[in-house]
Structure 1
């Protein structure tokens, strides 16, 4: 576990170093990020789900555990919104806390899954992708529309942002191909496999390039709430629900990993585009990514 985690974070650190040393220019990072998000990551999701043998995998139980964990943390935040407001946390800051508490870094999760359990781990994590991403996109867009200072997104715009999300359509395509996997040409599946293998390393480099250590302010209440909920409460909630649904073995480990990884770097762009507190979002993302090196192995060792 620790070896796989260290390897993942070394690749992230390499991405940060490449950007810090300006070995890759900012404009090039933007292109690499778009390539990873729009092409490489969908390829690994489609290939993993299309070729997976889902008959022996607790798809419903694992998916339900993660969905309920997300809904529980989201409900807790919404219920405590008045208390946070009285503590000086305004609407835009609340949206960044919300995204930082419920979203997950899919690149880190998939890399860890492949490192820990190989193809079986990737299959299980792809189930997490299909279960969590649609719900997370709906929740985060709705919360930003309600509490941020930006112009609220229309219903049509919200639906389009969900349907066009690469994480969502690739999951749907992969599950559809799974039903006819014996008809898929080997050249096509080989093509997806090559693209997919490229996605994890490049995706982790992109995660590292997005870290900005200079933006780490003195920890405030907003940082503490997001860190505690995402790195401690979320994996604990996933573990509790997994126990209720009878999830065990490798599926339980992957459920905990999915809950325990830091928030998504893409949350910054959503905050920036929809009027959230983007600087706070960047700080939360950086802080969680650094702390996850310690909290992730603890979560897996004590809960799995």
Structure 2
């Protein structure tokens, strides 16, 4: 437990520093958008490309990790969709608000996950977390788009649109390029590797500073059923499901730690953007992201203590 807290506290403090920097006005709203784009389109893709290009996939249970995570999100999605009529009937939660609960429960913040994996398991943890992204990003993006289009949107996106969202995702592009280098046995030139390593050192702190800057404590309302479910279903149930499937598939050690990290970090901020673009309840989505991130200071250490 103490080891886990020691790894998490620096991440939490950097998130808090991002919140304070944003509230002091040192960096303004539009400037933050530029920094977020830098992290999302340049720094993190550089990290993922370098890690995947050099990873030894035979040193950890790549397929079993992926199966554990995909099985977890699939089962959770099925349970949520099956429960949706009851959720609306009992608590009066409209379909567009349900989409925020859905995203809040399933989507995850890869920036926070990478920072924690790096602190807990070093380069091996980063490599395994990148593998988790390969398995999780496509189904989560597709599921979120389909649920929003069905319950909140006026039109259903085409297969071509969904595929475009996936193959233009900078994380997927960098991971795919890394796989080409790795499987092709192509070594990164010394100068290129050193350059990417410099990018890597900048990516994690800048990324999680942006997470803190995006928190809006002033937007939080008195918690109701929708906000409560959207906030706590993920940290309470997803690590449990992930641990169960990881045990079933024989995942242990650092690989199990990474599976638990990927399933317990809070929802990603791009869920808010998707909700706003597709007619979901963006305000509720923003509240879920904020409250989940605050709760993560307790829920992530608890998940790590119970399941690793």
Q: Bin the TM-score by the shorter chain.
A: over 0.9
For residues 91 and 159 of structure 1, what CA distance do their matches in structure 2 show? Answer: 25
Which of 71, 76, 81 aligns to 1:73? It is: 76
Deviation at 1:151, TM superposition (A): 4.3
Partner of 1:32: 35
For structure 2, list consecutive stretches of 5 or more residues without a partner in the other structure.
none
Partner of 1:291: 295
Correspondence list, 1:215-254, <5 A: 215-254=219-258
Matched, 1:6 2:9: yes
Matched, 1:213 2:217: yes
For residues 194 and 19 of structure 2, what CA distance do their matches in structure 1 show? Answer: 31
Specify whether residues 182 and 152 from structure 1 end up closer, same or farther in structure 2 by C-alpha distance, changes over 3 A only. Answer: closer
Q: Aligned-pair RMSD on alpha carbons?
A: 1.2
| 8 A Cα contact 2:117 2:129, kept in partner | yes
| 8 A Cα contact 1:91 1:149, kept in partner | no
Matched, 1:50 2:53: yes
What is the CA deviation profile of residues 116-154 of structure 1, one whole-angstrom value per residue up to 9, with x for unaligned ones? 111111111111111111111111111111111454433
For structure 1, list consecutive stretches of 5 or more residues without a partner in the other structure.
none
Deviation at 1:181, TM superposition (A): 4.4
Bigger shift: 288-297 or 184-193? 184-193
Partner of 2:93, secondary structure, is: coil
Matched, 1:107 2:111: yes
| 8 A Cα contact 1:150 1:276, kept in partner | no
Aligned residues: 304
TM-score norm. by structure 2 comes to: 0.96
Partner of 1:193: 197
Structure 1 runs (4+) deviating above 4 angstroms are none
Partner of 1:93: 97
Deviation at 1:191, TM superposition (A): 2.0
Partner of 2:304: 300
Matched, 1:272 2:258: no
For residues 177 and 233 of structure 2, what CA distance do their matches in structure 1 show? Answer: 32
Partner of 1:80, secondary structure, is: helix
Bigger shift: 167-176 or 8-17? 167-176
For residues 244 and 69 of structure 1, what CA distance do their matches in structure 2 show? Answer: 12
Which of 59, 82, 91 aligns to 2:85? It is: 82
